[in-house]
Each structure stands twice: as C-alpha cells, then as structure tokens.
C-alpha cells in the first residue's frame, strides 16, 4: 500500500449555501465518527463564498472564508475540493483548475455534470483523480455509487424516477387539495419548496439533467442533454388529475431511461399517468424515488429526500469519506467514467406509449364518433373513453389510447383540432404501462 504521508486530509469548499452548509454542518457534528470510519483526521482549510458578510446557516470560523475562489484552488495543502456553487461557469473552470493542481473533486452540480461531464471525467481519468458527484442526482438518495458498485454487474434496461421534489410536491398537493397549478406553486414557494424563479423545476430542466446523468451511467453511454425530450408540469390542471384518479392513475413528473431491443435508448422527462399500483405512484410530496431494472437483481427501488441541506450534505459527505479512504490507500481514480458506448437516443416522435387526451366538444350526437374516426385514421386504437357534460352545451371527453407513436398522436391532433365539433384540445399526456416485475 503506498504510504500516505500527511497526518490529516485537508478539504477546501466552494460555496456555503444550502448544500455547502449541510455539508459543513455534518462534517462538524459527526467529526469523531467520520474520522473513526475513515481512519484519519480531516480539516476544513478554506471556504469560498461570494459574500463573506452574509449570515450563514452553519457556524464557521470567519477566518476560513474568502471571496476569492482561487484562494482555495491554489492552496497547495488542499487534497479534496468540494464544488458546491452550482451552474456551469465558473464552476467548471474551477473544477478543471483544481484537477490540474492534483486535487480530488466532489460536487453536487447536476447541470455541470450533465452538460460538461465528458471534459471533467476525461481530465480526472488522465490525472488518476477521484471525481465524485453523488449529491447531483436525487439529493440524499444514494444512487450513483450503488449503480457503479453494488449493481455494477447488472445489465440495466430501465431507470425510471420521480427526481424533482418541487414538482412532486406541487402535483401531490394539486391531487390532495383539488387545487390549481398556480395556487399550488405559490404555496410551494411560500413553504420554501419552490424557488422564486421556479422555471428549472416546473419546466422539467432539473429532471432533464438528472435523467441524463442516470441514463449515462445505467446504459454506459454518454447522453447529450439536448437529446432528452423534456416537458414540464405547467399545463397540468386539476381536471387532468381528477380524471386520472377516476381512471385509476396518478399524475407524476417522471424521468425515464429505457434500453430498446434495437440498442437505441429512450431518455425523456414528462408528466406521466402512472397506474396507482405502480411502485413509484405512492411517492408523494418532496420525496423522490428511482426504480432500476437489472438483469440479475430484478427491480430495485431507492426512496428518500431528493434535495435540501441535510440530505444533499449527507451525499456530499459520503463522497468525501470515500475519497479520503482512496487517498490514504493510494487508490484514487479507481472508478472512472463508464460511458464506453455511443448508443443513439430515439427521437420522441418514434417513442410508443399509451396516451391520455382531453378535449372539449359540442355536446351533440356525432362528436365522439368524429374524433374516434380521426384517431383510427392514424392507427390509434382506444382503450378507454369517458364523456362528461360540461356547461353551455359543451362536453369533456377523455381518451386513453393503446400504445401508439408520438408522431401519430400529433398527426391525429392536427385533424381533431380542425373538426367543427371540437372546441378545444385541452391536454395530451403520456401513460406508462402496467407495472410488471
């Protein structure tokens, strides 16, 4: 075993916000236990922030703080850099700088990993460094290390998850309170579950980064984040949630990565009707859950808090401990990038699912038949149809179709919106199949 010559491990941190505070708090509170487990003392040497005078959620010695990230990055004593500032730049520049100086890196930055993971992992490999990012997907839920280690022998064919707590909270409350999207979003913001600018969450971008990362690891192929089809939840109404429930489903924002028989991959994020019996369907409020199908293990589900200071700090500290063990045993860079393949991502138009379609029509004979004809003309067959009288001589019709490619539904929609009986085409959501083990 190569000799580790230093008496303690020095840690440098960029960012002392939500995740940085949770990380520092846990490192300070559990210091004795952590040091026993890793077998060596550690020390937080420096922390870079934007504003040194800001009140912090965790108590730290002011002398540790700097507003110049390079005070941390150029410190020759620092062994492990924790990047917890977020965004692509300057985070990427800082991480590359740290690696060039030989620092091991831990980050929770999903956007940087999803968009720039290739450059970062390539340099880490060249320099034989650890580059760990457990906190970047599903906060406190261990998912990246388990996929790379404990499940590493499996051929994974599917990864499916509720991986954004904000949207899951909103959809859960809409269902429980029969409330509208806008009111529920405002409530989520008031409770601190949605940001002032909620775009990243409600438009599905946060989940898009996460499913790109999960799928890259699951299918050993780097997923370009722009190839991930993404739809958010802003168009979900309480009517959709009520109809879904009446039909035995629950509406969730789901990230799906699936390996197809022809070797191509489906990687997508969109609101989805899940059967109420599906293992993910009972994941409510801010909780996240990820279901993985491995050829040997079968189905494995991971459940927990997908964000927040404590949960994400827990993931970051786990990574730090892993790196400390690797450092003292001379084994950094053991687990490198596993994207060996170059599998194509299937265009969304070709993806076949069942579909939920809701429309408002004139409540008179022949309306339902005209729409059914338009669907049939595009080879879309119907599994369920529900018609309810609304007001003013209008009726609402909800259809659940059998499996059909997205392109066919788009084609049918173009015809349906032009039918004289149709007042509005109100929503189109995907329906995932019955859960089969």
Ligand X SMILES: NC(=O)c1ccc[n+]([C@@H]2O[C@H](COP(=O)([O-])OP(=O)(O)OC[C@H]3O[C@@H](n4cnc5c(N)ncnc54)[C@H](OP(=O)(O)O)[C@@H]3O)[C@@H](O)[C@H]2O)c1
Catalytic residues: 210
What does the binding site for ligand X look like in residue numbers (CB under 6 A)? 14-20, 48-51, 54, 69, 84-86, 90, 108-110, 135-136, 139, 307-308, 312
SS3 48: strand
The C-alpha atoms of residue 242 and residue 273 are separated, in whole angstroms, by: 12
Tokens for 19?
């995740």
Tokens for 400?
């659940």
Strand 404-405 and strand 382-389: pairing?
unpaired
Q: Which is nearer to ligand X, 16 or 256 (CB)?
A: 16
Backbone angles phi, psi at 81, to 5 degrees: -105, 130
The C-alpha atoms of residue 145 and residue 122 are separated, in whole angstroms, by: 19
Residue 142 beta carbon to ligand X: minimum distance, rounded to whole angstroms: 13
Q: Which is nearer to ligand X, 207 or 265 (CB)?
A: 207
Residues contacting residue 98 through CB under 8 Å, at least 6 positions apart:
12, 73, 81, 83, 105
Q: Which is nearer to ligand X, 109 or 175 (CB)?
A: 109
Hey, how many other C-beta atoms are within 10 angstroms of the C-beta on 192? 8
Residue 11 beta carbon to ligand X: minimum distance, rounded to whole angstroms: 15
Backbone angles phi, psi at 393, to 5 degrees: 75, 15
SS3 110: helix
Tokens for 82?
């924790």
Residue with tokens 């022998």: 153
Q: Which is nearer to ligand X, 16 or 60 (CB)?
A: 16
Q: Which residue is nearest to ligand X, using beta carbons? A: 17
H helices of 254-345, in order, are 309-328
Q: Which is nearer to ligand X, 193 or 356 (CB)?
A: 193
Q: Which is nearer to ligand X, 135 or 257 (CB)?
A: 135
Instruction: Give rounded-to-5 percent helix, strand, coil for the chain.
Output: 35, 25, 35
Backbone angles phi, psi at 425, to 5 degrees: -100, 105
SS3 383: strand
Cα dihedral sign for 105, 203, 281, 296?
A: negative
């Amino acid at each position: 075993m190569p000799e580790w010559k230093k008496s303690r491990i020095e840690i440098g941190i960029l960012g002392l916000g939500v995740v940085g505070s949770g990380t520092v708090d846990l490192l300070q509170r559990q210091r004795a236990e952590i040091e026993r487990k890793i077998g060596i003392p550690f020390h937080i040497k420096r922390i870079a922030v934007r504003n040194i005078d800001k009140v912090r959620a965790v108590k730290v010695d002011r002398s540790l703080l700097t507003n110049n990230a390079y005070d941390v990055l150029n410190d020759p004593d620092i062994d492990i850099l924790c990047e917890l500032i977020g965004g692509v730049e300057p985070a990427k520049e800082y991480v590359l700088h740290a690696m060039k100086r030989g620092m091991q890196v831990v980050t929770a930055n999903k956007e940087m990993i999803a968009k720039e993971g290739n450059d970062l992992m390539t340099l880490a490999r060249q320099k034989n460094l650890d580059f760990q990012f457990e906190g970047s997907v599903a906060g406190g839920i261990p998912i990246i290390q388990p996929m790379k280690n404990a499940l590493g022998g499996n051929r994974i064919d599917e990864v499916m998850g509720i991986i954004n707590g904000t949207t899951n909270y909103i959809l859960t409350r809409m269902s429980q309170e029969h409330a509208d999207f806008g009111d529920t979003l405002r409530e989520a913001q008031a409770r601190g579950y949605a940001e002032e600018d909620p775009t990243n969450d409600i438009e599905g971008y946060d989940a898009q980064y996460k499913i790109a990362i999960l799928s890259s690891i699951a299918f050993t192929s780097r997923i370009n984040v722009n190839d991930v089809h993404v739809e958010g939840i802003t168009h979900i109404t309480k009517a959709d949630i009520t109809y879904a429930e009446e039909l035995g489903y629950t509406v969730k924002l789901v990230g799906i990565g699936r390996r197809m028989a022809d070797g191509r991959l489906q990687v997508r994020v969109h609101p989805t009707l899940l059967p109420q019996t599906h293992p993910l369907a009972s994941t409510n409020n801010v909780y996240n859950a990820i279901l993985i199908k491995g050829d040997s293990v079968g189905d494995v589900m991971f459940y927990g808090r997908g964000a927040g200071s404590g949960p994400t700090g827990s993931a970051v500290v786990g990574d730090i401990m892993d790196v400390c063990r690797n450092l003292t045993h001379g084994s950094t860079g053991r687990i490198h990038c596993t994207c060996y393949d170059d599998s194509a991502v299937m265009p969304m138009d070709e993806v076949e699912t069942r579909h939920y379609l809701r429309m408002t029509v004139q409540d008179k004979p022949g309306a339902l038949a005209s729409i059914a004809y338009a669907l049939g003309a595009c080879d879309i067959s119907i599994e369920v149809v529900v018609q309810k009288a609304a007001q003013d001589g209008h009726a609402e019709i909800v259809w659940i179709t059998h499996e059909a490619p997205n392109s066919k539904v788009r084609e049918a929609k173009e015809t349906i919106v032009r039918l004289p009986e149709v007042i509005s085409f109100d929503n189109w959501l995907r329906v995932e199949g019955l859960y089969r083990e």
